[in-house]
Structure 1
Amino acid sequence: MTMYMYVALGGAVGACLRFFITTKADLWFGKGLPFGTLAVNVIGSFLLGLLYMCLQDAYAESPYRALLGIGVLGAFTTFSTFSLDTVLMIQHGEWFKALANVGLNVVVCVMAAGLAVFLVKG
């Protein structure tokens, strides 16, 4: 139960950080492109990679993973998890899986969002 509390606390922090950064990015760069989303995806991917490398030996069982990796960065951006998963596949020489992961996540997720818009708009 303690791990769930870490995730919940981190999630609240991550969601607030995401809102703060996307709001600031919109003010600084305008809304011509989703720069706020790009910013949180890049920052989150970097931080999750850093966290993973720092806690690599104890990553799976660490309360820091629950608080920071799953909670803060999970609420901040799930793209960081996608990015790290892809990098780990490449490191293990699983290039086909890495390319499939990128292709499927990008294409299928964009199609799912498009389908949802189509279903609602008719």
Structure 2
Amino acid sequence: MVAPGVLRSAAAAAQEAQEEEQERQASAAALAHYGAFRQRLQQDLAAATAARNQLREEQRSYEELAANIDMLQREELAQLRALVPLGAGVHAQAEVPDTSRICMHVALGFHPGSG
């Protein structure tokens, strides 16, 4: 015959083992959820960084445009020759016969003029 204390100890040990297994499973599920969450955050960070870099490049272009307009007004140039970037490090020489009007591409084919 088995003593009652031994049965309780075996039952308690089985209960303890079951609880530990449940904790391991919960921890594994939490780690998997955290990993997926972290991966999503990394993707969002990469997208936000790319968007920020693009905005900084646009800002730099507008600042360069503003500096060029200031120079044209300050120097009172009637005409201008400049190197224009075509892309991939290629430039072409451009001649602007009349600097009194400025036309720039804004978006969707809209080209406001100033003069």
TM above 0.5: no
TM-score computed with the length of structure 1 as normaliser:
0.27
**Greater CA radius of gyration, 1 or 2?**
2
Q: TM-score, normalised by structure 2?
A: 0.28
Q: Which has the higher helix share?
A: 1
